[in-house]
Structure 1
């Protein structure tokens, strides 16, 4: 039978009652308070074997109390609960030294399991560093799916564990990787990202590990690779499923031995990087096909994180919309609001492009419409836009020109005598570039050299556009 005293601090009487009943039935002695002052008096007197506390208390924020608790009683586990279910709440709980963070409403069975684990662990658990964080929120959403991701990320911040992020295109894999870096112990080092799908397969090894002068045709000088550039920081390997087998073998050796050689080089170079990989593919299926090394998968998949598709977290759409409108306003676009009916219309959409598709929609709404409040009719108008026509010669080009002209004429008519906000050229150009480049890559089955020729642009220009626009390059055999 469990024993020990648990201190519960929450200004909600109903929560105190529920916790008292559940923990008492489990065999613990429970002491209840509605304020942080009493909690601190109990802790400073040496009372209690574990604390369960809300963040926002009537007299003090618990994040201001936690450092004092950790200093006075570093072995006392503190479980933090909060209805402010944001990424930053989870991160601050971890950085301030909380044993665990639970979003409200919490699962009572999960809470009792956490209590049992904390009470049975040996004392002397090291405190997390209490460092202040930037209040900018890199991840948005309060759905249960996102809450679990926040908790996992909070546990990983002070580690160097290799992480594998999986999820559909547009779910925010690089955003999660950047958050792991920016709020982790390597935050003062570089964050270097490389997209395997955006680099010619024969150049990936040189991009990763660098090359010596004369290593191959065109190598006129020594060049550093991404591992060297990321030394002391984080290397993000995006779309790892597109890495060719030869590069996989070299990467495995780096993960095993902690060193690498440049292409054309002989001297081993020690590396100190944290690896975060990401994929939108089923790597187990690639392993079965002989396209991905199983031993490399296990080296990379130390901590797996699956990002939910937007259709799996529709309750987050309101927060995401407000967040994207705020970002658009910070960039100089007009302030916008959205009515409830329009939000419901967004929740009924399937969102094949996930959060990226929603963000692009919100930017268009902020840039192209003069209305202060976005209504269902505007949402319907945007979501019913047909996909870009395939490229089939002069007729298609003329039809596209006519469509763009009609669209822009209607857009200017909406403003009446006023003019739209500055920067229209670049906003419209970006909207056109994405489907144009995507269509060219699809037509050439992901061959960027042929796509560049088709578009009439330099290959390096195309590669930069693919990276800047975050276009997923999917290769397939004929």
Structure 2
């Protein structure tokens, strides 16, 4: 990278980035973010103000130096992407943002579905209107309808005052329905009617209320499979799936990792003063990890690293601490494509590091074995499995999702029953 002097970059109508050589004193345009670039012997980032960052880079632009420079040029609300897959998704999202068609985003938990949703909203004509995110899995089923559609005063016990609900609160803007696969079937029918008629009927009311809302739905499971298995309405699926977008797991987006990690360092660093840079040795470790928790896990690792670095100018490999050892390092001799299918009765979930099991790990082991055995006995039927275990189907889904994040994949056999793959 050569020194840049007085170049102003447009930022999708969100302001300007003024990039200049640190030795120059050319005044920037009003309200522009200023990025000063200079060569040096050591990579560094220093915040000089809320909209002023100085980046010193080495002659050879390493992964860490490039990530530092690009993140310095990005605003706090800008998407961070460097992998071709992610760049293609954001480019597509940019194109569909101008329309009002519903969007369905699918991807594993923690991959950034809400970030992509906010990106679509921020690039749309509705950008100055509300964006409301609702996690359908985080609310009790008995309250989800009231929270979405609103209610009249006295409509039910505890309704001491009327509430407009999330759909009406997002009027004119965008509503993200995250984890929509967890919505009960009965409520799916009411949502479908609201989307078709563009109106809602609050609980306890008899007169519908017109609304103008763009719906963005997100799910961590294949909704077409949920439809086939009777857990999601087909008509609602087609109503939401007008334009599908997909996000890959972080381990399949290696070129995003350095950029995301440096952006997280900047997010959790002081507003004024030096910002640690990530050394190439640390980036290599991050890229070698398989990230079962995706971007959320990466943020946890970065926050730990900042604590361990304790004000050091850079984050090194010795500051990187994972929840467990990187799977690629442990199982390098057995590629993912040739993973063995392990019969259910032989599955043993052992810690990667053979340390003495604590009480919590013993409990998790017993719970996992009980779920697998019940699934086998019930032929893979989740409803019967949940009934046998004495838990709700939603709770069973949470447990199965946790098992998937731990690396245990459960698949149905064509002949009935289940099999596990790790």
**Scaled by the length of structure 2, what TM-score is found?**
0.59
Give me the whole-angstrom Cα distance separating, in 2, the residues matched to 1:222 and 1:381: 47
Deviations 1:241-275 (A, max 9, x none): 00001110000001111112011110011010110
DSSP-derived class of the 2:177 partner: strand
Residue in structure 1 matched with residue 97 of structure 2 by the alignment:
157
DSSP-derived class of the 1:291 partner: coil
Max Rg structure: 1
Residue in structure 2 matched with residue 253 of structure 1 by the alignment:
193
Out of 273, 286, 309, the position equivalent to 1:346 is: 286
Q: Map of 1:52-71 to 2, 5 A cutoff?
A: none
Give me the whole-angstrom Cα distance separating, in 2, the residues matched to 1:377 and 1:258: 55
Closer, same or farther in 2 for the Cα pair 1:304/1:315, shift >3 Å?
same
Closer, same or farther in 2 for the Cα pair 1:188/1:63, shift >3 Å?
closer
Give me the whole-angstrom Cα distance separating, in 1, the residues matched to 2:201 and 2:136: 19
Give me the whole-angstrom Cα distance separating, in 2, the residues matched to 1:380 and 1:60: 39
Q: Is the contact between residue 308 and residue 319 of structure 2 (CA under 8 Å) also seen in structure 1?
A: no
Residue in structure 2 matched with residue 373 of structure 1 by the alignment:
314
Say whether 1:279 aligns with 2:279. no
Give me the whole-angstrom Cα distance separating, in 2, the residues matched to 1:146 and 1:392: 36
Q: Map of 1:219-230 to 2, 5 A cutoff?
A: 219-230=159-170
Deviations 1:277-329 (A, max 9, x none): 10001111211121100010010011100011111111221111111111111
Residue in structure 1 matched with residue 374 of structure 2 by the alignment:
none
Closer, same or farther in 2 for the Cα pair 1:223/1:390, shift >3 Å?
farther
Segments of 5+ residues of structure 2 without an aligned counterpart are 12-73, 327-350, 363-389, 396-422
DSSP-derived class of the 1:197 partner: coil
Q: Is the contact between residue 324 and residue 362 of structure 1 (CA under 8 Å) also seen in structure 2?
A: yes
DSSP-derived class of the 1:153 partner: helix
Residue in structure 1 matched with residue 120 of structure 2 by the alignment:
180
Residue in structure 1 matched with residue 301 of structure 2 by the alignment:
361
Deviations 1:203-259 (A, max 9, x none): 111111001122222222211111111111111101000000111000000111111
Give the C-alpha shift of residue 332 in structure 1. Answer: 7.3
Out of 207, 224, 227, the position equivalent to 1:267 is: 207
Give the C-alpha shift of residue 154 in structure 1. Answer: 1.3
Give me the whole-angstrom Cα distance separating, in 2, the residues matched to 1:381 and 1:272: 45
Structure 1 stretch 365-374 or stretch 195-204: which is displaced more?
Answer: 365-374
Q: Is the contact between residue 212 and residue 265 of structure 1 (CA under 8 Å) also seen in structure 2?
A: yes
Residue in structure 2 matched with residue 147 of structure 1 by the alignment:
87
**Scaled by the length of structure 1, what TM-score is found?**
0.53
Q: Tell me: higher relative CO, structure 1 or 2? Use CA pairs within 8 A at least 6 residues apart.
A: 2
Segments of 5+ residues of structure 1 without an aligned counterpart are 1-56, 65-133, 394-442, 449-478
Give the number of equivalent residue pairs. 278
Give me the whole-angstrom Cα distance separating, in 1, the residues matched to 2:268 and 2:8: 32
Report runs of 4+ in structure 1 exceeding 6 Å deviation. Answer: 57-64, 385-388, 443-448
Say whether 1:236 aligns with 2:173. no
Q: Is the contact between residue 140 and residue 319 of structure 1 (CA under 8 Å) also seen in structure 2?
A: yes
Residue in structure 2 matched with residue 472 of structure 1 by the alignment:
none
Give me the whole-angstrom Cα distance separating, in 2, the residues matched to 1:321 and 1:60: 27
RMSD over aligned Cα, in angstroms? 3.4
DSSP-derived class of the 1:263 partner: coil
Give the C-alpha shift of residue 382 in structure 1. Answer: 6.2
Give the C-alpha shift of residue 276 in structure 1. Answer: 0.4
Residue in structure 2 matched with residue 115 of structure 1 by the alignment:
none
Give the C-alpha shift of residue 161 in structure 1. Answer: 1.1
Give me the whole-angstrom Cα distance separating, in 2, the residues matched to 1:58 and 1:331: 25
Deviations 1:140-183 (A, max 9, x none): 12211011112111112211111001111110011111111122
Give me the whole-angstrom Cα distance separating, in 2, the residues matched to 1:357 and 1:200: 26
